[in-house]
Structure 1
Amino acid sequence: MPLGRRRLLAVPALLAFSTRAPALAQAWPSRPIRLIVPYAPGGGTDLLGRAIAEALRPALPQPVVVENRAGGAGVIGSELVTRAEPDGHTLMAVVSTHVANRYFLPSLPYDPIKDFTPVALLSRNTMVLVTGAAQPYADLRAMLDYARRNPGKVGTGSTESLSSFIGQELARRADVEMADVQYRSGGQLMNDIVAGHLPVGWTSTASAMPHMQTGRVRVLAVSTSTRTPFFPDVPTAQEQGVADFDLSGWVGLYGPAGLPEAVVARLQEALGRAFADPTLQQRFTAMGIEPDLRPAAGLMQAAQREDRLWAAAAAAGHIKKEQ
């Protein structure tokens, strides 16, 4: 899937930062850059982070080293970043539930918006409902019918707040009982789908893609209002009778609060060059990643929109904090 026109429009804007970055950025980076991925290896964000880290090598004088710090729905790794020096040598890649966690978890040791510096929006996360080929349902309607006839026997796998909410929101709207089964990464969830240990699960296209050639996995539905180009034959949940079902996420790149504007500009320039490289674009397509590169303002807008969405869901009683 080539980069769309809207996504490519952001690349020249990011490249333009290179002409304005002051001398401070020229001395950065002076050592390897740690890219914290606060989730277990093998999931979509981990795959995206490693692909970008490799693609940034020609644009930066120091390597970007991915470091997985899983746990606490992303909180452990994110808190580590808040304590890091804001010098551009510690960054993190997080999914949109970085913002949603404040509405799901009892407490957070940081403010997900105020305590981080947005650098760039990296990708859109379309979520897909996956199941094993041996399961007795071939589409969403059949799965929901099976779940109604077998109350409590169809657990829904999730890896963070968004996939958990999507699974429980689908169950609520369909009036079926489907327990939330939590995993630490999309890779672990998919392993249990393939092995037949988990009936269904919501995960990213990037997590699902590596398993599609095995013939042991089916995609039952897409969470957004439009089909994903990675699985064009798979209908959306809306097409299968779940009205107004349109939920997706994103992956954003952040640094600690106080990250210098010059370093942010240099990072954006390097990302613009990396995302314009056809080799990375082809790799994204093969991995099932939907690139959506936008500068810091675009990431801030996405985070603020996410915050409003979850605040409204909490006010309506559709989500509750864990005890």
Structure 2
Amino acid sequence: MTIRRRPLLALPAALAFPAPLLAQTASWPSRPVRIIVPYAAAGGTDLLARAIGEALRPVFPQPFVVENRAGAAGVVGSEVVARTEPDGYSLLVVVSTHVMNRYYLPSMPFDPIRDFTPIAMLSRNTMVLAAGANQPFDSLRSMLNHAKANPGRVGTGSTEALSSFVGQELARRAGVEMPDVAYRSGGQLMNDIVAGHLPTGWTSTVSAAPHMQTGKVRILAVSTAERCAAFPDAPTVQEQGISNFDLSGWVAMFAPPRMDPALAQRITGAMQQVFDDAAFKQRLLGMGVERDFRPAPALVEVMQRDDRTWSAAAAAGHIRVQQ
């Protein structure tokens, strides 16, 4: 893929910034930039971040290197960025549970909205219900019937708060007992589904896509109200009898707090340039990524909306704090 270098526009307000800040922005990056992914390697977010790093090679003279800092549902790696200097050399690519975690975890060392500089929303994150082809069910309905006949014996894998919530919300509304089985990444979850160690699991389209040609995996459902372009043959949960089921997340990029707005906009502009490239769009499609690029103001609106949604779910008792 070729992305031509072109100047990235700066905000008119940048003209009022002190000269040292303008010089720092103009020279960025003068050394490698790390993209911290707060999850284990080989998951959907990790794969997307690595694709972004490769796509940025023709745009800047310095490499963008992915660094996995897994732990505590994404909090470990996110805290590294929250505590780092806002000089543009540490960025964060994280899923929407970045916001949800404040209702899911007993404590947080940062505020997920206030303590980061938003760069851009990158993609929508539809959850898919994957199952091994050797399991004794081949549809969502038959899986739920099997779970009812075997209470507590059909575990459903998850990798973070959103996929855990989707799985437990489905079980709650279907009136079945399906224990949540936590994994550190979508890659690990999918490996266990392929091997037959895990009956089912909710994961991203990106994590599931590499396994679909093996014939060892079925997609029983997608979590959204409409079918997903990456898996057009997979029916929605709603189509299979669970009304008003429509849940999805997102993947976004953040920087440390208090970043110079001109530098933040320059990074946003670089992301926009990459995500508008036709070859990169095609690559995302092949990866199972649902492109949904939105600049920082729109990302903040989505985060605030999500915060209201999860607050209401927690108040209703549908989100339980981990102990």
TM-score tier (shorter): over 0.9
Matched with 2:309 is: 309
Match of 2:186 in 1: 186
Q: Which residue does 1:120 correspond to in 2? A: 120
Deviations 1:283-322 (A, max 9, x none): 1011100111111011111111111111000011111211
What corresponds to 1:218 in structure 2?
218
Q: Which has the higher contact order (CA 8 A, sep 6+)?
A: 1
TM-score with structure 2 length normalisation?
0.93
Partner of 2:56: 56
- The answer for the alignment partner of 1:42 in structure 2 is 42
**Take 1:73 and 1:44, find their aligned partners in 2: how far apart are those partners?**
15
- Counterpart CA distance in 2 for 1:271 and 1:104 is 30
Q: Match for residue 245 of structure 2?
A: 245
Between the aligned partners of 1:263 and 1:229, the Cα distance in structure 2 is 34
Aligned counterparts of 1:191 and 1:136: Cα–Cα separation in 2: 18
Residue 111 to residue 19, structure 1, CA distance change in 2 (3 Å): closer
Structure 1 position 76 matched with structure 2 position 68: no
Q: Secondary structure at the match of 1:239?
A: helix
Cα distance in 2 between the residues matched to 1:221 and 1:17: 42
Structure 2 gap segments, 5+ residues each: 1-6, 16-21
Instruction: Name the residue aligned to 1:4.
Output: none
- 2:78 matched to 1:86? no
Which deviates the most, 60-69 or 141-150?
60-69
> Could you say what the CA RMSD is over the residues aligned between the two structures, in angstroms?
1.2
| 1:162-219 residue CA offsets vs partner (Å, 9 max, x unmatched) | 0000000000000000000000000000000000000000000000000000000000
Deviation of the 1:16 alpha carbon: 6.9
Residue 4 (structure 2) aligns with = none
Residue type at the aligned position of 2:9? F
Structure 2 equivalent of residue 8 of structure 1: none
Matches within 5 A, 1:1-323: 17-18=9-10, 20=12, 23-24=22-23, 25-323=25-323
Deviations 1:265-296 (A, max 9, x none): 11111112111222211110111001111110
User: Cα deviation per residue 1:32-88 (whole Å; 9 max; x = unaligned)?
Assistant: 111000000011100110001111112222111100000100010011111110111
Give structure 1 stretches of 5+ with no counterpart: 1-14
Matched pairs, number: 309
Distance 2:67 2:8 in 1: 30
Secondary structure at the residue paired with 1:167? helix
Contact 1:129/1:219 (<8 A) preserved:
yes
Deviating beyond 3 angstroms after TM superposition, the runs of 4 or more aligned structure 1 residues are: 15-24
The separation in 1 between residues aligned to 2:33 and 2:10, in whole angstroms, is: 19
CA contact (8 A) 1:17 1:268 kept: no
CA distance in 2, matches of 1:253, 1:298: 13
Measured in 2, the distance between the counterparts of 1:257 and 1:229 equals 35
Hey, what's the Cα distance between the residues in 1 that align with 2:34 and 2:315?
Answer: 37
Q: Structure 1: how far apart are the matches of 2:298 and 2:63?
A: 26
Contact kept? 1:60, 1:270, Cα under 8 Å: no
Q: What letter matches 2:244 in structure 1?
A: D
Deviation at residue 157 of structure 1 after TM alignment: 0.1
The one-character-per-residue Cα deviations of 1:108-161 (angstroms, maximum 9, x if unpaired) are: 011111110100000000110000000011110000000000111100000000
Letter in 2 for 1:313: A
Determine the C-alpha separation between the residues in 2 that align with 1:272 and 1:101.
Answer: 27
| 2: CA distance, partners of 1:274 / 1:247 | 27
Distance 2:59 2:310 in 1: 37
Mapped partners of 2:318, 2:271: distance in 1: 37
Q: Distance in 1 between matches of 2:162 and 2:297?
A: 22
TM-score normalised per structure 1: 0.93
In 2, the alpha carbon distance for the partners of 1:272 and 1:75 equals 26
Q: Within 2, Cα distance between the matches of 1:79 and 1:133?
A: 39
